Structures are given as structure tokens and as C-alpha cells.
Amino acid sequence: MRLALSGGGTGGHVYPALSIAAALDDELPQGDDLELLYVGSEGGAEDALVGRSGISFAKIASAPIRGRMPWQMAASAAQIALGVRQGRSLIDEFRPAAMLSTGGYASFPLSLAARTRRVPIALYLPDLRPGWAVRAIAKLAKRIAVSAAESLRQLPGGKTQVTGYPVRSEFWTANRDGGRERLGLNSEEKVLYVAGASQGAHSINRAVAADISGLLELCEVVHLCGPADEAWLQEVRDGLSDGQRERYQLFGYMHEDTPWAMAAADLAVCRSGASVIGELPAVGLPAVLVPYPHAGGHQRTNAHYMEIKGAAVVMDDDDLKTMLPVVGELLYDEGRLREMREASRKLARPDAASRIARILLDLAVENPS
């Protein structure tokens, strides 16, 4: 069976697709072979991430569906039209029985191409709030999966269902003791996990650097800073005392160890991309969520959902100067941390990847072509 996958621009679109891809093997009828093709955009996060997975990867032209200026809209339209032509060629050559989209710019031209070639589309919305690309693809899709019921009213009825957010299988096996041993963390100390998105978050990184001495008095810190800020943060780390450096672990990027680092922590400070809806609950990690202010409102919606559910507190990007007292208060309020941890775990959906995989496989089986 041949299936096409698409979703990109950021890790928030790619990681769910890869989690679903991994689940497809387990859900595939016995005796069937699976062949996958991931279609993404030039320069997006999907290029490197899909390469690590071993799935075949192809690039097509893509662009935002809308622009602020007429010439931007015209340029985007030209790129999308080119992407549709490239997508048709890929579909004609690969001949997928169905396609999965997780949103992002590259998904839109491929979805248009799939529709013209009568390839059924399953759409998964990672964020709680659909962006323009997802809204457009939703009109083309036969089945739609969402992370939480809060998204249902924003998408077409009759073909949409709640599945939860699909996370990598490692998140269900990672645990506190194993994570601390794996990263060399003290089993008795408080641990703070800090991360931006897949590329980091500059304002969070600056706040950590400004408060690093105070943070290290409170806890050990595992800091996933992103590649852009790694060099100067390494200089900050080098300037610490020997004892402080031992308590501060800095990573430009982390892949296999991310679930273990999160499981090892008592509290997270991070952005609120779609992954927080799945990854934080999977390991039961309370969080201070700092929505990226230029994400079109998606991150703020995700953050407030986690806050309403009791699993997180929300901090504005402009208020990061108060991060140290907020972190200190939460880390040493055992009762509140326990309540947040339990609230987070209640949101976990271990079967999300399998459920979405079954939706895609059902479409493929139903496809007569």
C-alpha cells in the first residue's frame, strides 16, 4: 500500500505526521507492505526531520495562502500553482491510495493536486485553532482528526472526530528515573526543562541567561535552546562556576532524548506550539507556557487550553522578566505541582497516532483507484 504524507514548515506539523507514520506499520493488515512518500517544502523543518526517519522525501514549491500586499499574493499564487503541478507529477508517479496532511504551506498545493487526481485526503489539525492552510484543506479532505473537542466547531461537521495529539512512542516509555540517569541529573534535585520550538525561542533564551544564577540556586536546568543561540549561551555557561556548570545542561538540539528530558523534569518553561497538547500530557509535565506573540494566535489558544485544564500557567512574552519568581514558586509548591501533573496526565491520548493511522488506512481501502 502506498500512502503520501505532507506537513511542514515547523516541527509542530512534522512530528505528528512521523508519529502517525510509525503507527501505520502496526495498523496495516497482516501481509500488506507499506510504502510512504513525504512531500514537504524547501527549507522547512521537514527536510531534516524526515531524513532521520528513513521515509522517502520530495520537495514541492509552496507559499502562504494569503499575503499582506497584492504583489505578495500574486507571488504566492504563482508558487502554489507551481507546487500543484509538481504535486500532480509526484502523485502520477507514486500513485498513493490516500494522503495525510498535517497542515503547513506545502500541504496545500499537494492537497489540491491530490483532489484533482481523486486521491482521498485525511487531515489532522495539530493546533486547537485551524490556520488558513488547514481551513482550505478541510474543504478538500474526506476525514478530519483534531486534538481536542474545542476544535470541532471551527471545522466542517460530519467528517471530523477527536483523536488526541499523536506523539512519538518514546513519550509513553520515558520515565523520571530513567531520564535523570540518561542525562546525568541528580535524582533528588528539582529539574527545570526549558525549550522554545524546534528552532528555539530567543526571548526565552535571553530570560534564562539573565536569571541563570538564580535558577541554578533553585534547580538543575536542562535547556534546549535551538541552534541559533547555542554559541552565545555556551559562552554564558562557560562563565559560570564549576558547580553551576554541572547544574546547567545546554543543548542546541535534541531528538531521541527529548522525551526523557521532559520526563525527568519537575516543571517546563516553553513555547506553546501544538506539541504541548500531546507531549506535556504524555509525561505529565506541568508547564509555564509562553506563547510566541507572532504566531497568529494559535499558540495563545493552545496555552489557554492547557491553563483552563489546570496543566499549565500562561506567561506573556513581555513578562519573562518575572520568570524566576514564578518558576521558584511553582517548583516548591508540591501540592500545586502534583495537581498540575495529574491534570496534565488526564489529557494524554496514548492511542491518538493509531486512531489517525486507521482513518488514513480506511480511506486507502475505500479508494477504488
Label residue 66 by pLDDT band (50, 70, 90).
low
C-alpha cell of residue 138: 478541510
pLDDT digits (tens, 9 = 90+) for 119-146: 999 999 999 999 888 999 999 999 999 9
Rounded to an integer, what distance in angstroms lies between the CA atom of residue 166 and that of residue 26? 14
Q: Percentage of the chain with pLDDT > 70?
A: 95
- Alpha helices, H only, 174-257: 176-183, 202-210, 212-218, 230-238, 242-246
Asked whether the beta carbons of 289 and 315 are under 8 A apart, the reply is yes
Which pLDDT score is estimated for 202? 93
Label residue 28 by pLDDT band (50, 70, 90).
confident
Bridge partners, residue 200, by sequence: 197
Bridge partners, residue 191, by sequence: 220
Which pLDDT score is estimated for 369? 61
Which pLDDT score is estimated for 105? 79
CB contact set of 267 (below 8 Å; sequence gap of 6+):
190, 191, 192, 193, 285, 286, 287, 288, 327, 330, 331, 337
Residue 19 has pLDDT above 60, yes or no: yes
Domains and CATH numbers, the chain: 2-165+350-366 (3.40.50.2000), 170-346 (3.40.50.2000)
Q: What is the pTM of this model?
A: 0.92
